[in-house]
Amino acid sequence: MGEIQAIIFDMDGVLIDSEPINLKVETENLDALGFPIPKEISRTFIGASKKAVQAKIQGVYPEIDLEKLQTEMDNRKKQVTIEYATIVFPELVESLQYLKNKGIPMAVASSTYHDKVKVILKEADLIHYFDVIIGGDCVENSKPDPEIFLKTATELHVSPKNCLVVEDSHNGVKAASRAGMYIVGKNDDRFDQDISCADEFFDTYDEFLKSMKNKFE
């Protein structure tokens, strides 16, 4: 591990406990529209961009009109209200404040579209901790491609080898690994995600904070 000069966080499942909600809404809407997705495929939606999810759906239903489907899905999602401030992970804010006090640059690299990421972070009262925010629509290739992490490192003006990434999904961990970054995997036994190639792991942000203090003190 090189000297850690910046930390990059995924958002869904890392900063906010949104993965159960997102997956439930996505699969229930697909069921209602007549396009049920097998569980072994729907679980790969976690950590994937909208474009990647569309490709997976089309793999099951090759003749599907993706533009029409996305419009219907977006209209249904507008009916769902999520109070993001209530699903911020416990002890996360203490960890972010510690890192900010230490002067560690921080970024968010999420498969969610950039404008939506900013809205969510504002509503969760987290946006002021981050120097750079990159969304899935800011890159051509989604996780597990490393592009989003390499772009984030460039925006942070830090070498990839000096970045630490916090991820919870198989796609995210693979992307960070391919970018040559140090990976801290957030365990979550609800989603059957293989994050075994991470360099270290944590279950709670209390554990994460202790790890950060060991690195920066």
Please list the active-site residues.
Answer: 10
- The set of residues, in sequence order, having a beta carbon less than 8 Å from that of 214 and lying 6+ positions away, is none
User: How far apart are the C-alpha atoms of 11 and 118, rounded to whole Å?
Assistant: 11
Cβ proximity of 52 and 111 under 8 Å: yes
Residue pointed to by tokens 């097998």: 38
How many CA within 13 A on the CB side of residue 49? 22
Question: What's the DSSP call for residue 143?
Answer: T
Cβ proximity of 13 and 46 under 8 Å: yes
User: How far apart are the C-alpha atoms of 141 and 139, rounded to whole Å?
Assistant: 6
Three-state DSSP string of 180-196: CCEEEEECCCCCCCCCC
User: How far apart are the C-alpha atoms of 137 and 115, rounded to whole Å?
Assistant: 9
Cβ proximity of 181 and 162 under 8 Å: no
User: How far apart are the C-alpha atoms of 95 and 83, rounded to whole Å?
Assistant: 21
